[in-house]
Chain A
Amino acid sequence: MQDRLERLIKDVAEVRDTTAFKELFEHFAPRIKSYLLRQGAGNEEAEELMQEAMIMVWKKAESFNPGQASLSTWIFTIARNKRIDLLRKEKGGIATYDYSLVHQEDKRADDTLISRQEEVRLRRALTKLPADQADILKLAFWGDKSHGVIANESGLPLGTVKSRIRLAMQRLRGILEEE
């Protein structure tokens, strides 16, 4: 599926293909909105931010680099950054997610990028993760208003959620290593 989606973004980038964009919209828009709703955005807000995110996808299609990330990852970061921009307007703050600016020596051996193979392996490893551990990761990423507050205003997970996230990531890495 990633291959199909990446062909679509290529069409958008190269020839401004609105049909291709509509297909991308059909796949991503409902998911981006779902993510934003779960983060606590109201329906109106989530619609607006989702639209802004999709416009961003169109505008920046050319700079999507399949060597650096899958399309879903790229779009996830766009949606996440949109949400952070909103929080910044409401609450202030100056956090930046632009950590590509690294020490010069680091750049020569920047193996921090996730390769296409690694992404495939990660997908597979996630399917092998026990359901309750996969659930805690979903909760950690998506948030879920109905679950009550899993984190306080610091945005840091509390108590058992904290340790469960650590265990789930540890297990996930263990599965990756086994392969």
Chain B
Amino acid sequence: MSTHLFYQPVHTPPDDILLAFCAGQINPAFGMVVSSHLYYSPISRKRVREMECLGGILLDKIPPAEIRAKSLDAVIEQLNTPLHPSAFDTEDDRRETHLDRSRSDNEQNGSGLLEGKLPPALLHVLGGDMEQLKWRRISGGVEEADIPGGKVGPCRARLMRIAPHTKVAAHTHGGTEMTLVLGGSYKDNTDTFYPGDLQICDASVHHQPHVDDAAPCLCLVASDAPVRLTGLLGRLINPFLRSA
């Protein structure tokens, strides 16, 4: 047994968002954040597995559609006979489903949280490490870095880094914003957020996140509308606004 207490995120996504993720409806930029959160949260993983179970149960109940008469023949023609895993054509085929027995045998054992490593899914997208990231300054103490493939339609996922003892400009959100803490922590008027915590804000939330610690706070953020600055600072400059 480890002597470390593994922090379980307190802030988890609500069911409607987990279900949108589970059903494959969610925009991939938001999906990236949810999927990274799952790395940290057994509770959320359990909920998603329950929902997948529901997905299976409902698949049995769905009114069936008409299949083309030749469909079965077309499929039979394409079947290979080898049992060996090399029958898989592409990396996509190999990675199809996380429920596979062979996948769970090969699971990577990232020490993740405790050593400040990133969720494997995110790390994969970044090509293995954070060295490639290009950080740009958004405002005093706040930097942002684009993620390859992070922009999908109106939604955008990116990394943000807030320096120690920094207050992010007060803002509200036109649409939805998801913030996943990857390292360090931040506070706002509601609570403190630690690695694995996912905060979801919408138009009703006005907040001013700040980092009190001596350590910077690293977050994965996704949103579907530009942030609107409120307060005096908002009227003077608009560093958060980006055109789509």
Contact = CB atoms under 8 A, between A and B. Distances in A.
Contacts of A106: 6, 42
Interface of A: 1, 16, 18, 21-22, 25, 28-35, 37-39, 46-47, 50-51, 54-56, 58-60, 62-65, 68-81, 83-85, 87-88, 91-107, 110-114, 118-119, 122-123, 126, 137-138, 140-143, 151-157, 161-163, 165-166, 169-170
15 contacts: A30-B66, A62-B83, A63-B100, A81-B97, A91-B153, A93-B31, A94-B32, A94-B125, A96-B125, A100-B99, A101-B120, A103-B6, A140-B16, A157-B19, A166-B16
A122 B61 CA distance: 14
Contacts, number: 306
Contacts of A21: 76, 79
A137 B50 CA distance: 13
A interface secondary structure, majority: helix
Interface of B: 2, 4, 6, 14-17, 19-20, 22-32, 35, 38-40, 42, 45-46, 48-50, 52-68, 71-72, 74-76, 78-81, 83, 87-88, 92-93, 95-104, 107-114, 119-121, 124-125, 147-155, 175-176, 224
Contacts of B29: 93, 95
A72 B75 CA distance: 19
Nearest to A84: B24
